[in-house]
A and B are shown apart, each in its own frame.
Chain A
């Protein structure tokens, strides 16, 4: 089944403790992206990657890092999480091109205390 898999689904952590949220897709998609979703706001892009070793900032990149060493994986790294990074995070992938569909993961609900 074609899918984007995120782990973990839920995570509670303390301020300053480094964490990684993994994202993997099995569709051989070139394009991958991370979003955060907060109440009353639309999804906002954090980082995106157009191919292996090619990443760029989205609209809200502060406090996040990403890497794209393999085509299928696109982990999101929070080096020093803060409470304002408490949010629902989604990874998405696409084959690329303006009419390509985006497949979203099931989400990771992160709470930073």
Chain B
């Protein structure tokens, strides 16, 4: 069964500190892996997209890594800001037998930044 598991479920850190969120997946065949940021009550917003051959991708203070052999990804946030408080969702994509892309969503990590 295709699954995406994220850890921790929730995390609280002080403003200015770094943190790393984890994602393990069993989706196959793998196409790409995405990280999204979701503010409370809003739709998810894309942070990074990585294919099988990419090990790392950065977007400002966000850096995602991918190890396709172990089927693990991480999202590292540097110098956290209060606006980083949100849920971070790992999404793994496969291409179905019908040629359409199918996304499998993790349940997210709820990150809270405190002053």
- Chain B residues positioned under 8 Å from A107 (CB to CB): 41-43
Residue contact A101 to B93, C-beta cutoff 8 Å: no
One of A38-46, A65-73, A79-87 at the interface: A38-46
Residue contact B100 to A48, C-beta cutoff 8 Å: yes
A106, B39: Cα distance in complex, Å:
10
B107 at the interface (CB under 8 A from A): yes
- Chain A residues positioned under 8 Å from B105 (CB to CB): 35, 42-44
**Number of contacting residues on B, CB 8 A?**
23
Residue contact B100 to A101, C-beta cutoff 8 Å: no
Which bucket holds chain A's interface residue count? 20 to 34
A107, B45: Cα distance in complex, Å:
12
Q: Would you call the interface of chain B mostly helix, strand, loop, or mixed? A: strand
Total A-B pairs, Cβ < 8 A? 50
Q: Would you call the interface of chain A mostly helix, strand, loop, or mixed? A: strand
In chain A, positions 11-42 with a C-beta closer than 8 Å to chain B are 35, 40-42
Binding site for B on A (CB under 8 A): 4, 35, 40-45, 48, 50, 56, 90, 92, 94, 97-99, 101-102, 104-107, 109
Ordered nearest first, which 4 A-B pairs have the shortest CB separation? A104-B43, A42-B105, A43-B105, A98-B31
13 of the cross-chain contacts (CB-CB < 8 Å) are A4-B43, A40-B107, A41-B107, A42-B89, A42-B104, A42-B106, A43-B89, A43-B103, A45-B103, A48-B100, A98-B32, A104-B44, A104-B45
